[in-house]
């Protein structure tokens, strides 16, 4: 019970940090946003972004759950980070990178959605936004 409460508090803390990072991206402060994202990777997931970027999207959940003993809380944090990375890369004009982060974020959010016993309006909204972004990036509309 205590561990679950700790994980929920940790997720909420990361959610607030990500909201701040998305605000920096909207303001055009991309370097500050990038620094903030890297700090979250190191502080909450104990790896740098390159570790997660190197994992193929097809192996993402299996590798992290089995090979690194991550739990759904870790995956939710990583999904939020990938979402922020997709926004950052889109703001930088790097559509291919934004697409890759969007696809990985979608995989994680869908996995979490299937595993959770409670409905999350926020996750459903992110899933919908990510699907639209992926479709737009694939069609060259962005």
Chain centre to alpha carbon of residue 85: 7
Tokens for 44?
A: 């909450």
> Rounded to whole angstroms, how far apart are CA atoms 93 and 108?
24
85-120 pLDDT tens trace = 999 999 999 999 999 999 999 999 999 998 877 777
> Rounded to whole angstroms, how far apart are CA atoms 122 and 39?
23
Domain count across the chain: 1
Name the nearest CA neighbour of 103 among 60, 74, 39, 51.
Answer: 60
Name the nearest CA neighbour of 92 among 11, 50, 37, 13.
Answer: 37
Name the nearest CA neighbour of 101 among 42, 59, 57.
Answer: 57
pLDDT for 123 equals 83
44-83 pLDDT tens trace = 899 999 999 999 999 999 999 988 888 888 999 999 999 9
**Boundaries of domain holding 129:** 2-139
């Amino acid at each position: 019970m205590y561990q679950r409460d700790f994980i929920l508090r940790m997720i909420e803390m990361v959610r607030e940090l990500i909201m701040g990072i998305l605000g920096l991206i909207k303001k055009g402060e991309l370097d500050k946003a990038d620094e903030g994202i890297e700090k979250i990777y190191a502080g909450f997931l104990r790896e740098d972004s390159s570790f997660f970027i190197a994992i193929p999207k097809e192996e993402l959940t299996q590798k992290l759950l089995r090979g690194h003993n991550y739990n759904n809380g870790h995956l939710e944090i990583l999904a939020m980070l990938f979402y922020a990375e997709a926004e950052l890369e889109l703001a930088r004009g790097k559509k291919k990178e934004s697409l890759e982060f969007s696809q990985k974020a979608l995989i994680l959010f869908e996995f979490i959605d299937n595993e959770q016993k409670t409905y999350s309006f926020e996750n459903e909204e992110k899933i919908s936004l990510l699907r639209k972004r992926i479709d737009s990036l694939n069609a060259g509309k962005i």
